[in-house]
Chains A and B, each alone.
Chain A
Amino acid sequence: MRIAVQEEEFDLGAESNDFAAQDTANGAIVTFTGVVRDMAEGDLDVMEIEHYPGMTERAIAKIAREAKLRWSLGDVLVIHRYGRLAPGDRIMMVATAAPHRKDAFEAAEYLMDYLKSRAPFWKKEITTSGAEWVAAKDEDEDALTRW
């Protein structure tokens, strides 16, 4: 299990390759990548991501440990960036390795659902018309109830 909370970019290809080059008992590898999206207005300059150093790593580790208890997983990788990002930049990635694909897919979705509303990150969108904190969505909170 590897958890990285970092300001710098990550190499999606290299991370995916390293993660895939492991235990041959894992026949399924799922990766998810989150990218800074420019909303409908098309005027996003910067996405600023703030986090709570210390709690962030603890919260993600707790979510990953829970995923390993719920599904048969060989390994878990979570990389999440903070700082100033531009549209198209990769914000984060999650990878899961499991003997079977159902576990890998479900665990990746679980990790994403929990990272959205239980890992202490806050996003601020800076557009040509000003800066605004991204509000948490009810549907993100509701997504947790299915687990």
Chain B
Amino acid sequence: MDVLYFAWVRERIGLPKEKVETEAATVNDLVAELSAREDRYAAAFADLSALRVALDQELSDFDASLAGVREVAFFPPMTGG
């Protein structure tokens, strides 16, 4: 699946988008998998209360299932307007 990062999450991880091969069942599982890879991921995902997640471009939750999901995005709370 495609995993996208925005704002300071993108800066901390160091890339805007990557393809991830994963068997993760939920967003939380994917976060754990990514965090175990390298420190920069662990740093970005250290405080999930400061993060939001979108699944296929719809705002979702960290305990949501990844079944059938093609695109996951992680970002801080939005500041539009």
Q: Contact residues of A with B, CB < 8 Å?
A: 34, 50, 52, 54-55, 58-59, 80, 91-92, 112, 115-124, 133-136, 141
Residues of B within 8 A of A133 (CB): 7-8, 76
Residue of B6, B59, B75, B80 near A116 (CB, 8 A) is B80
Residue of B75, B79, B81 near A52 (CB, 8 A) is B75
Q: Contact residues of B with A, CB < 8 Å?
A: 4, 6-8, 54, 57-59, 73, 75-81
The answer to whether A122 and B7 touch (CB under 8 A), given A52-B73, A55-B73, A133-B76, is: yes
Residues of B within 8 A of A134 (CB): 79
Q: Determine whether the beta carbon of A116 is less than 8 Å from that of B81.
A: yes
A/B interface sample: 16 pairs, CB < 8 A = A52-B6, A52-B54, A52-B75, A59-B59, A116-B78, A117-B78, A118-B80, A119-B78, A119-B81, A122-B75, A122-B76, A123-B79, A133-B7, A133-B76, A135-B77, A136-B79
Other A-B pairs, 20, CB within 8 Å; known A122-B6, A122-B7, A133-B76: A50-B6, A52-B4, A55-B54, A91-B81, A92-B80, A116-B78, A116-B80, A117-B77, A118-B59, A119-B78, A120-B6, A120-B75, A120-B78, A121-B81, A122-B78, A134-B79, A135-B76, A135-B79, A136-B76, A136-B77
Residue of A55, A92, A122 near B79 (CB, 8 A) is A122
Which 7 residue pairs of A and B lie closest in terms of their CB atoms, listed nearest first? A136-B77, A121-B80, A122-B7, A55-B57, A116-B81, A119-B80, A115-B81
Residues of A within 8 A of B6 (CB): 50, 52, 120, 122
